[in-house]
């Protein structure tokens, strides 16, 4: 089994590095300066327990990979980048290749299943960061994170069991779950706070706003008949890496790097979609989504307003 990690940033880089470190055949697909740094110097993985530079093979596009039977493509890019990434992959990879979505949200698997017949969901619990070209950090120890996996839309088969075993052997908590999408919906509730870190800033100052967003989320999931577990997590603790604390989640990091895009349409936007389908109001998630997208477009840094300013704008927002 070779792992082709497509989108080797914070999450993909950390997963790929650890799999490679444990003896698995891994190829990374990265781009730009990150691709050049990994190609020239290797991929540096920083954790609370070590800092190691690994000579992981890397290419800059799917067409540079000669796909072969037994390959597993791990999708690890942000959801807003999934559709063009899948189109590139479908142009060169066989339609029965294994595609596993190690991404936030619940839309990626549906997009992949349009093009590939063997799709798997991976519920990712992996606080990590893409610090600079060629360097990623993972902040959990002793287990690096959680990577539960199952067939999409449901079920467990030999491939799911093999993936879970590979992840578990690479210091991730991992189970093969027939209902893995339930857990991804549970993780989605947690990720509703990503936009809060962007709009309000990281830390406890946005806790009440995040609580309101998750209350809307739980109401929408109930209305849709989705029985998502709450409190999805693992026993490992977030710890500093090389003296640095983790500054914020994936959306926070997108704004810091000035990528111009953000995942809010597929995190808070998923709750808005369910709310519109089932008649559940979602004003908090709608305002978070609109503000986060505006900040990404305008190249702003995290921390647009205080919680009080957000609530004032929420009160004055026209129904949508």
pLDDT tens string, the chain, 320 residues long: the values are: 999 999 999 999 999 999 999 999 999 999 999 999 999 999 999 999 999 999 999 999 999 999 999 999 999 999 999 999 999 999 999 999 999 999 999 999 999 999 999 999 999 999 999 979 999 999 998 899 999 999 999 999 999 999 999 999 999 999 999 999 999 999 999 999 999 999 999 989 999 999 999 999 999 999 999 999 976 666 668 899 988 888 888 999 999 888 899 999 999 999 999 999 999 999 999 999 999 999 999 999 999 999 999 999 999 774 44
**For residue 124, what are the CA distances in angstroms to 10, 107, 183?**
12, 14, 9
Query: What span, in angstroms and rounded, lies between the C-alpha atoms of 126 and 12?
Result: 10
**CA geometry: angle at 294 spanning 211 and 138, to 5°?**
60
| CATH top-level class of 191-320 | mainly alpha
Contact between 295 and 304 under an 8 Å Cβ cutoff? The reply is: yes
CA atoms within 13 A on the CB side of 254: 26
pLDDT score for 245? 85
Domain segments of the chain: what residues? 1-178, 191-320
Q: What is the pTM of this model?
A: 0.95
Intrachain domains 1-178 and 191-320 with the same fold: no
Q: Reading across the β-sheet that carries 172-173, which strands appear in turn? A: 58-59, 25-29, 2-6, 72-75, 98-101, 118-125, 145-151, 172-173
pLDDT score for 119? 98
Query: Which string of b and e fits 149-182 if b means at least 16 CB within 10 Å?
Result: bbbbeeebeebbebbbebbeebbbbbbbbebbbb
**For residue 272, what are the CA distances in angstroms to 121, 281, 283?**
22, 8, 8
Query: What span, in angstroms and rounded, lies between the C-alpha atoms of 293 and 287?
Result: 10
For domain 1-178, the question of CATH label 3.30.230.10 is answered with no
Query: What span, in angstroms and rounded, lies between the C-alpha atoms of 210 and 103?
Result: 21
| Residue 122: how many other CB atoms lie within 10 Å | 30
Write out the DSSP string of 4-44.
EEESTTHHHHHHHHHHHHTT-EEEEE--HHHHHHHHHH-EE
DSSP state of 265: G
For the chain, how big is the Rg over CA atoms in Å?
19
């Amino acid at each position: 089994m070779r792992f082709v990690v497509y989108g080797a940033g914070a999450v993909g880089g950390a997963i790929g590095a650890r799999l490679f470190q444990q003896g698995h055949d891994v190829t990374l697909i990265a781009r730009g300066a990150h691709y050049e740094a990994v190609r020239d110097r290797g991929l540096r993985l920083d954790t609370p327990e070590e800092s190691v530079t690994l000579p992981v093979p890397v290419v800059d596009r799917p067409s540079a990979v000669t796909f072969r039977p037994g390959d597993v493509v791990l999708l690890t890019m942000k959801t807003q980048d999934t559709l063009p990434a899948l189109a590139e992959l479908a142009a060169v990879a066989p339609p029965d290749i294994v595609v596993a979505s190690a991404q936030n949200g619940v839309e990626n698997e549906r997009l992949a299943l349009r093009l590939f017949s063997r799709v798997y969901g991976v519920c990712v619990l992996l606080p990590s960061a893409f610090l600079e070209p060629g360097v990623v950090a993972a902040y959990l120890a002793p287990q690096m994170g959680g990577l539960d996996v199952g067939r999409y839309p449901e079920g467990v088969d030999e491939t799911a069991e093999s993936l879970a075993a590979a992840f578990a052997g690479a210091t991730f908590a991992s189970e093969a779950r027939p209902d893995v999408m339930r857990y991804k919906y549970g993780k989605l509730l947690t990720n509703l706070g990503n936009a809060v870190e962007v709009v309000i800033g990281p830390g406890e100052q946005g806790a009440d706003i995040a609580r309101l967003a998750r209350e809307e989320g739980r109401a929408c999931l109930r209305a849709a008949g989705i029985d998502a577990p709450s409190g999805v997590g693992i026993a490992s603790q977030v710890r500093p890496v090389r003296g640095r604390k983790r500054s914020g989640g994936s959306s926070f990091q997108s704004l810091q790097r000035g990528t111009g895009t953000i995942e809010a349409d597929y995190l808070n936007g998923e709750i808005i979609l369910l709310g519109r389908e089932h008649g559940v109001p979602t004003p908090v998630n709608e305002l978070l989504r609109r503000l986060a997208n505006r900040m990404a477009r305008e190249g702003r840094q995290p921390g647009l307003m205080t919680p009080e300013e957000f609530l004032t704008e929420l009160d004055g927002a026209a129904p949508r």
